[in-house]
Amino acid sequence: MEYRKTASDVPISDTTRQLSDLAINVTEVSNDDDHATPSTLEEPQSPLWNRSSVSHSSSARRRRRMAANTQQVGMHSSYIRPTEDIFNANDPRIKEDILGIIMQYLADEGFHASQAVLYDETNVKWKEREERTIEVKRLRKAILDGDWQEVEKLCSKPLVKNHRSFLYSVYKQQYLEYIERREIQKAFTFLNKRLKPLEHLQTKPNEFKDLCYLLTAKSIHEAPSFKNWEGIMGAREILVDQLQSMLDFETADRNGNRYMPPNRLLTLLRQAVAYQIEFSRYHPKVAPAVNSLLENYSSFVIPNSTARTLQGHRSNVKCVEFIGEEGQEIVSGSSDNTLRIWNTETGDLGALLEGHTSRIWDVSTTAKGEFVASASGDGTVKIWNLRDPRPHCATTLNGHAGDVYSARYHPSEAHIVTGGYDKTVRLYDVNTGLVVKTFTGHQLAVTKTIYNPLGNLVVSGSKDNTIKFWDIVSGLCIRTISSHLGEVTSVEMNSSGTYLLSSSKDNSNRLWDVRMVRPIQKLKGHQNTSKNFIRSCFADNNLIVGGSEDGNVYIWDQDTGEVLQKLRGHTGVVYEAAWNAKQGMLASCSDDQTVRVWCYDEKLPMDL
């Protein structure tokens, strides 16, 4: 692959300069669709069917076996959502708890310097308590090791100095060890010097009398008070437990501080993961090994069954998306000029959104599912308010000359980026409805526009076979990729922003390393050569899903590029497939005028 910097490729900042390390040659390609009237673009004809099978490699079989290790239990009808109502994050006591949990974890892991910095920044007076914790650990070790000189030194500090009953227990242990080793003279001296002054603290009525008797006894067990004595090591462990109980009781309300259970952060995180597992659609048959906390837990699922078919559109369905992160509803856009809102669980039609005068090419929703943006062949993007009982169009964004092929909400949800037939990428302010920036540089129609997760870059794919990266502040193109041999029909980024997925009419989907701007995987098996627009996207657990002109939904292994599953059911071109982690379900839209929702059914065989 040849790399060459173009005139429009200008490095902007440290963040975007990484993308400027390599430049990729741009090839200009004309496309008949771009010279046609936008509203009369070619409609798909009957599909060609690809009968090739899925991969049977050992890695593909292993992945399918992993996916089969789940069972569908369905979604809970009601559960407490983790909203801000659960606790007030600005409550001073809650803040103190959070800081305390973090400091405890830092101390447990040995990050004492970081912990000290946090102390200084928060001005929380826990330093003394943490110093006490270190002294407690030293004292515990000294007791268990029988280092009584060190014990004596630590017992002279405020930690234990005023706890005379514990001092009595420490001296009693030392005395009994002298007796056990038959060092009678040392025991006699120690009894008079250390234990006699604390005789009133004895735990049993005749305990001190029995201590004196041991000077002449043959065994410690002969004394009634010590008939159950467990030996030197056993008694030391009991003494350590007594120390911990004493400190726990003291700490419970010392200086207004509450007792913090050990490993509090890890306990809360495990509870959070367990909650996510409990309220997911699929339960693992064996305890899962979670290797990342940066994303919510989701069972590894490879759909193999149609859960329901959503019918109602009067023409092909170009786009589909789960509404919001919860995904309890699905929105679809069609060439019948309408959007439809469907209930994910039941498949019932919830709302019919009318207002566009041409087909719907793309949809995008906000994280909470309160708004949906739709890009249309009528040259507009409409923002639909779903919060009201009767969803309605709240804003119409104008500015494009011709079809708008793509719309995507910014992570902050304050802006929408669009692309269309007029070869431009436009950035709109959602509140004012005005264009705040226009990105120019593509030679043909822009088919897809997205943001990176940080929201500082826009990535666009075009019918000119290129992918461009734009600095959102300056509006300048900082990098161009032109490895595809056909029109780029979609681009997507994974949640961490490390990988870019592109689809093209050269019959391939490609996975790119964003930092190095180099291709690392080529996904094939599907058909994408002529229809507008076949798209693909990331799913959970390193899976990639996408449509195909052969009427199948394809699922690839991101790491190997192998086809793990082909979902058959549509009777026409599949334009797009969308995954929702919360629901653990896949939705696809097709030229057959339907939306299909796919799930995993353990009763159906999977090629293992």
The tens digit of pLDDT for each residue in 414-467 reads 999 999 999 999 999 999 999 999 999 999 999 999 999 999 999 999 999 999
> How many angstroms separate the CA atoms of 486 and 466, rounded?
9
- Any idea which of 86-95, 170-179, 261-270, 415-424 has the lowest mean pLDDT? 86-95
The average pLDDT across 405-419 equals 98
Give the angle 270-275-281 at the CA atoms, nearest 5°.
130
pLDDT of residue 77: 62
Q: Is the pLDDT of residue 329 over 90?
A: yes
Q: Is the pLDDT of residue 536 over 80?
A: yes
Q: Is the pLDDT of residue 31 over 60?
A: no
Q: Which of 14-28, 103-117, 332-346 has the largest mean confidence?
A: 332-346
Instruction: Please give the radius of gyration of the chain, using alpha carbons only, rounded to the nearest integer.
Output: 34
Q: Which of 22-26, 100-104, 177-181, 362-366 has the largest mean confidence?
A: 362-366
Q: Is the pLDDT of residue 243 over 50?
A: yes
Q: Reduced to 3 DSSP states, what percent helix, strand and coil does the chain have, rounded to the nearest 5? A: 30, 25, 45
* Confidence at 574, pLDDT banded by 50, 70, 90: very high
The average pLDDT across 336-361 equals 97
- Which phi and psi angles does 575 have, rounded to 5°? -85, -35
> How many angstroms separate the CA atoms of 439 and 441, rounded?
7
Q: Is the pLDDT of residue 347 over 80?
A: yes
* Residues with Cβ within 8 Å of residue 270, at least 6 apart in sequence: none
pLDDT of residue 96: 84
**Mean pLDDT for the chain?**
85
* Residues with Cβ within 8 Å of residue 348, at least 6 apart in sequence: 342
> How many angstroms separate the CA atoms of 44 and 67, rounded?
34
The average pLDDT across 525-538 equals 95
> How many angstroms separate the CA atoms of 421 and 41, rounded?
11
Half-sphere exposure of 525 (CA within 13 A, CB side): 24
The tens digit of pLDDT for each residue in 352-379 reads 999 999 999 999 999 999 999 999 999 9
Q: What is the DSSP string of 26-42?
A: ------GGGGS-GGGPP
Q: Is the pLDDT of residue 13 over 50?
A: no
Q: Which two tokens stand for residue 224?
A: 């009634």
Q: Which two tokens stand for residue 239?
A: 């003494």
Long-range contacts of 235-238 (CB under 8 A, 24+ apart): 235/173, 235/176, 236/143, 236/144, 236/146, 236/173, 237/144
Give the angle 97-103-107 at the CA atoms, nearest 5°.
145
Q: Is the pLDDT of residue 6 over 90?
A: no
* Confidence at 267, pLDDT banded by 50, 70, 90: very high
> How many angstroms separate the CA atoms of 227 and 248, rounded?
29
* Confidence at 246, pLDDT banded by 50, 70, 90: confident
The tens digit of pLDDT for each residue in 486-499 reads 999 999 999 999 99
pLDDT of residue 152: 86
The average pLDDT across 214-221 equals 91
pLDDT of residue 252: 52
Q: Is the pLDDT of residue 45 over 70?
A: no
* Confidence at 78, pLDDT banded by 50, 70, 90: low
Q: Is the pLDDT of residue 332 over 90?
A: yes
* Confidence at 249, pLDDT banded by 50, 70, 90: low
pLDDT of residue 123: 62
Q: Is the pLDDT of residue 334 over 80?
A: yes
- Which phi and psi angles does 2 have, rounded to 5°? -90, 140
* Residues with Cβ within 8 Å of residue 193, at least 6 apart in sequence: none
The average pLDDT across 331-335 equals 98
